[in-house]
Amino acid sequence: MSDATNNGPVLSADGMPLKRSLAKALRREKLRALMLIAPLLIFVLVTFIAPIADMLFRSVENNIVEDTLPQTVVALKKWDSKSGSVPDEPVFTALAADLKVAVEAKTHTKLGSRLNYEMTGISSLLRKTGRRVDKWDLEKDAPFKEKFVDVDKDWADPEVWAVIKVFSSKYTSGYFLNAVDLQKTPSGIEPRDEDQRIYITLFMRTIFMSLTIMFSCILLGYPIAFLLANLRPKTSNLLLILVLLPFWTSLLVRTSAWKVLLQQQGVINDILVWIGLVDDGNRLIMINNQFGTIVAMTHILLPFMILPLYSVMQTIPVTYVRAAKSLGATNWTAFWRVYFPQSVPGIGAGCILVFILSIGYYITPELVGGTKGVFISNRIAYHISSSLNWGLGAALGAILLAAVLILYWAYDKIVGIDNVKLG
Amino acid sequence: MKDANNEQGFVVFDHVQKSYDGEVLVVKDLNLSIGRGEFLTMLGPSGSGKTTCLMMLAGFETATHGDILLGGKPINNIPPHKRGIGMVFQNYALFPHMTIAENLSFPLEVRKMGKSERDQKVQRALDMVQMGSFGSRRPGQLSGGQQQRVALARALVFEPELVLMDEPLGALDKQLREHMQFEIKRISDDLGITVVYVTHDQTEALTMSDRVAVFDDGRIQQLAPPDQLYEAPENSFVAQFIGENNTMEGVVKEIKNGVALVQLDGGDLIDAKPINVSKAGDRTRVSIRPERVEYNRDRLHKDAHTLKAEVLEFIYMGDIFRTRLRVGKNEDFIVKTRNAPDQVRLKPGQQIEIGWLPEDCRALDA
Ligand SMILES: Nc1ncnc2c1ncn2[C@@H]1O[C@H](COP(=O)(O)OP(=O)(O)OP(=O)(O)O)[C@@H](O)[C@H]1O
Ligand SMILES: [Mg+2]
């Protein structure tokens, strides 16, 4: 700092502020670096960022009602859903016109499935009505109110109209509300029926089981990592291969192996019965429940705990423990006060890896989880590929993503993310 | 200097051997007795087994054979934490997740000492190494020299009688090193503790120690006070290892009146003091310190044997002159002379004659 006597910015040799000339010099390098990573960047954008953005968008998007029933939506604006009466003739006229177009384009069934998420029965109502509307003449057959009620008396139910009106806006919070066991009704947000509330439980279960898996991984992984880090290199290399072995086996094979081991006629039960520990009549149920999922997933995710722990422990010099002992600490004190605190960054890294992997895990819970041991991800998969309720699937996924980010943030606040070391 | 014999055997290595792999003996038959209050240095080249000896004493390695006694009692079966030996490690080994004060308080805590007494002792130990105001920092926030002092304070805070130091100054620069050598010596003298000190650095060993044990190849080659070690090395390894040294090889012609007549391989005859040679015909390596070589004929004994030499290089080093000579086939014969007003400054190419007092030239093992 000896030559920084003037208070102005430091100048380079040609009189340009040093910061600017430095930035200029660095720009070329930055550009070159950007070019180098461009392929990966584009790949990630197209295959990762874009789908996630699309998914987040789908969780609130709701164009279908307005696109399929444009005139009806406008006509319904004047109707008060709380009045308790059926809308007037103009609404029915508009609906007839909209449905005629929709039936032509076959979009009324899609609308039916969408609205069916909110009120069961609307899908069949629309399909049934669609078939009849096709034959009507818009000019001659008016008025339509009677005719609709004739087709199905549900059209005289103000509830049906209320649902159409509530979900006629372009964006909706409906999916998110569904995802947390609430629903949007004409009279505001209400909890769902008791028997339909599953998602909160599922979220809680997912988090609880992921935490259990994480702690099991710490308990099982810590001693192994400790051994690995402290054995002679030759022995520890062999052990490391054993740790990595599961990585080279198909996930499906490993999971199925647990089925073989844990099922009621499986190896473990057989052995227990043979020893006499368990009565043949009431063999233990260890699979298709939470226990099965926790066991199988702990096994599968264990390497993700061991490896970061191992690489952190390898960097802890043996002299620390020796120093502690020479200062008078017993083996346990030396471990607990000196070694353990220094391995915490490895535990942190392992926990983050295992927890985040397990919170979104799908295959294993699907195969060994039964009904009690499935995760939220299994429900998301169900909505994406079976029920085709993508909006709800997207909302569940978005909540999961948010939950992970919040936990990550909390971890950063409590432990500090720069405390995480992978090696 | 304390007399090692006044309380013989505070620490005793008795025929100690150590092998890590069951094939090679890293320590071969170590016998060593260290007096209470003594500052003993283990000096030796890399891999000579110094750290291993220290680790056996501290209890982190077990001796394959032999006994180690502390205060007269064998300690082979006492675990490290019960030995009560303070230790300073080469990389300091300060616990990075604790503050300096917590580091120092650790040995007192595990001894179940009360908080106020602990704080008092920690502060006193920190003051002793002039680190009194750094208690709340973490080791990572200190310089190397500061960490070193804290490590020293930590090894002393629980008042052990014996402190082991394994190359504690290895990572410091020369100036800091010299300062710390002085500090360590002062503190150990003040507290009257016994110190076993390991180093590579012979200057460090010579300046600090009461006695120096020179290690090589798993054995103590010589155990002596620094001046004896330098002036009277007992074998050619020690002569080579400690200080600068000129050596020449030859055969003993005769030994008479405590002076050996040695015929060098070039044919010249010289006088030497017989150390490891007993009879005519023994091969020997004679060793002479550069500052004991004389080329001023007037200062030599009338009938002293001399050698012809040619000056190759003259280096002016301020306080001394360092002259490189060719003597026979040896082009690396060094002579050091004090920069005195009447001193001759040799010129390259000059032909001279060199000689010495017979007692300065030692005939050692070949
Ligand atoms: N844990 C170990 N396992 C096997 N061999 C070892 C072990 N520690 C040391 N050795 C071997 O024992 C010999 C002596 O090692 P030691 O560490 O005692 O040397 P040192 O004199 O302290 O050397 P330096 O000055 O380099 O520290 C060396 O050959 C070394 O390779
Ligand atoms: Mg060593």
| Residue B93 pLDDT | 92
Q: Which residue, judged by its Cα, is nearest atom 9 of ligand 1?
A: B52
State whether B283 and B333 are in the same domain. yes
**B185 and B304 share one domain:** no
Q: Is residue B5 part of a domain?
A: no
Top residue of A235, A318, A327 to mutate, by most chain B CBs within 10 Å, is: A327
Domain that holds residue A268: 199-419
The residue out of B169, B202, B236 marking a domain boundary is B236
State whether B16 and B162 are in the same domain.
Answer: yes
**Averaged confidence pLDDT in chain B:** 89
Measured between beta carbons, the chain A residues lying within 8 angstroms of B155 are 326-327
pLDDT at A3: 47
Do B260 and B229 lie in a common domain?
Answer: no
Cβ-Cβ contacts under 8 Å, B60 against chain A: 322, 325
Ligand found nearest the CA of B49: 1
Whether residues A292 and A401 share a domain: the answer is yes
A218 and A84 part of one domain = no
CB–CB of A327 and B107 under 8 A? Answer: yes
Q: Are residues B29 and B146 in the same domain?
A: yes
- B90 CA: nearest ligand 1 atom: 27
- B95 touching A (Cβ < 8 Å): yes
Given CB atoms, is B230 within the 8 Å cutoff of chain A?
no
Q: Is the pLDDT of residue A5 over 80?
A: no
Condensed to tens digits (0 to 9), the pLDDT of residues A244-280 reads 888 888 888 988 899 999 988 889 999 999 998 888 8
Task: Please report whether residue A193 resides in a domain.
Answer: no
Same structural domain, A118 and A217: no
Cis-peptide, bond into residue A143, ω within 30° of zero = yes
Evaluate whether residue B4 is within a structural domain.
Answer: no
pLDDT band at B91 (very low <50, low <70, confident <90, very high): confident
Q: Does residue B52 share a domain with residue B18? A: yes
One domain, residues A208 and A105: no
Task: Please indicate whether residue A58 or residue A141 has the higher confidence score (pLDDT).
Answer: A58
Q: Are residues A146 and A216 in the same domain?
A: no
pLDDT, average across residues A55-75: 89
pLDDT above 70 (res A136)? yes
pLDDT-derived band at A1, boundaries 50, 70, 90: very low
Task: Give the SS3 label for residue B364.
Answer: strand
- Choose the residue to mutate in B23, B51, B60 for probing ligand 1, maximizing ligand atoms within 8 Å of C-beta: B51
Are B190 and B253 within one domain? no
Same domain, B198 and B260: no
Same domain, A267 and A298: yes
Give the distance from residue B344's alpha carbon to the nearest chain A alpha carbon, in angstroms. Answer: 47
Is the CB of A282 inside 8 Å of chain B's CB atoms?
no
B210 and B301 in a common domain:
no
> Worst-scoring range by mean pLDDT, A68-77, B3-12, B36-45, B208-217?
B3-12
CATH number at residue B289: 2.40.50.140
**Angle made by CA atoms A206, A208, A212, in degrees to the nearest 5:** 115
Assess whether pLDDT exceeds 80 at residue B146: yes
| Range name among A7-16, A158-167, B126-135 with the lowest pLDDT average | A7-16
Q: Are residues A357 and A238 in the same domain?
A: yes
Tokens of A242: 């054993």
Q: Are residues A131 and A215 part of one domain?
A: no
Q: pLDDT tier at A145 (50, 70, 90 boundaries)? A: confident
- What's the pLDDT score for residue A4? 45
The domain that holds B18 is classified in CATH as 3.40.50.300
Among B207, B236, B265, the domain-final residue is B236
**Residue B176: inside a domain:** yes
Count of the separate structural domains present in chain B: 2
In the 8-state DSSP scheme, what is residue A138?
Answer: T
In a shared domain, residues A297 and A312: yes
Q: Which of residues 306-335 of A touch B (CB under 8 A)?
A: 317, 319-320, 322-331, 333-334
Say if strands B269-274 and B361-364 run parallel, antiparallel, or are unpaired: parallel
Q: Given an 8 Å threshold on Cβ–Cβ distance, is A333 in contact with B59?
A: no
Is residue A72 in a domain?
yes
* Domain range enclosing B77: 11-236
Contact pairs from chain A to chain B, CB under 8 Å: 63
Q: For residue B155, how many other CB atoms are within 10 A of its CB?
A: 26
With a pLDDT cut of 90, the percent of chain A lying above it is 34
- Indicate the range of A318-327, A359-368, B2-11 predicted with least confidence: B2-11
Query: What's the CA-to-centroid distance between A230 and ligand 1, angstroms?
Result: 17
Report the residue from A326, A330, A338 with minimal CB separation from B95: A338
Token pair of A229, please? 């880090």
Least CB-CB distance to A342: which of B58, B89, B96?
B96
Q: Give the ligand 1 atom nearest the CA of B48.
A: 21
CA distance B110 to chain A (A): 6
Query: How many whole angstroms from B179 Cα to the centroid of ligand 1?
Result: 28
Q: Are A317 and B91 in contact (CB < 8 Å)?
A: yes
Distance CA B149, CA B125 (A): 10
Residue B106 has pLDDT above 50, yes or no: yes
Mean pLDDT of chain A: 88
| Per-residue pLDDT, B8 | 66
- Report yes or no on B184 lying in a domain: yes
Is a pLDDT exceeding 90 seen at residue B330? no
Quick one: average pLDDT of A401-420? 82
Number of domains in chain A: 3
CA distance linking residue A350 with residue A419, whole number of Å: 12
Instruction: Tell me: pLDDT of A6 over 60.
Output: no
Whether B35 and B158 share a structural domain:
yes
Distance B20 CA to ligand 1 centre (A): 9
Q: Is residue B2 part of a domain?
A: no
Per-residue pLDDT tens over the stretch A9-40: 677 777 778 888 888 888 988 999 999 999 99
- Taking residues A60-73, report their average pLDDT: 89
Residues B230 and B272 grouped into a single domain: no
**Poorest-pLDDT segment among A264-273, A323-332, B9-18, B291-300:** B291-300
Q: Is the pLDDT of residue B3 over 50?
A: no
From the CA of B200, give the closest atom in ligand 1: 25
SS (H, E, C) A315-329: CCCHHHHHHHHHCCC
A43 pLDDT band (50/70/90 cuts)? very high
Pairwise CB contact (< 8 Å): A320 & B111: no
Residue the block writes with tokens 């392929």? A39
Tens of pLDDT along B189-232? 999 999 999 998 888 999 999 999 999 988 999 999 999 999 88
Task: Work out the pLDDT band at B1, boundaries 50, 70, 90.
Answer: very low
* Residue B260 DSSP class: E
Last residue of a domain, one of B219, B236, B253: B236
Query: Cα torsion at B104, B106, B107, B112 (round to 10°)?
Result: 130
pLDDT exceeds cutoff 70 at B2? no
Residue B84 at interface with chain A, using a CB cutoff of 8 Å? yes
In-domain check, residue A381: yes
DSSP states of B107-166: HHHTTT--HHHHHHHHHHHHHHTT-GGGTTS-GGGS-HHHHHHHHHHHHHTT--SEEEEE
Q: What is the ipTM of this complex?
A: 0.80
Q: Show Cβ contacts of residue A306 under 8 Å, excluding neighbours closer than 6 positions.
A: A221, A224, A225, A228, A243, A350
H or E element in which residue B214 lies = strand B211-216
Domain-located, residue A182: no
At residue A421, the pLDDT reads 66
Is B86 close to A341, i.e. CB distance below 8 A? no
Among residues of chain B, what percentage have pLDDT more than 90? 55
Judgement on whether residues A93 and A132 belong to the same structural domain of the protein: yes
Residue B45 lies in a domain: yes
Do B272 and B173 have their domain in common? no
Q: What is the CATH number of the domain that holds A288?
A: 1.10.3720.10
Residue A144 pLDDT greater than 90, yes or no: no
**From the list B81, B84, B85, which residue is nearest A329 (CB)?**
B81
Distance (Å, rounded) from C-alpha B13 to C-alpha B242? 24
pLDDT of residue A173: 87
Q: What is the mean pLDDT of residues B167-171?
A: 85
Residue A186 lies in a domain: no
From A181-195, A219-233, B139-153, B304-318, the region with the lowest mean pLDDT: A181-195
Percentage of chain B modeled with pLDDT above 70 = 98
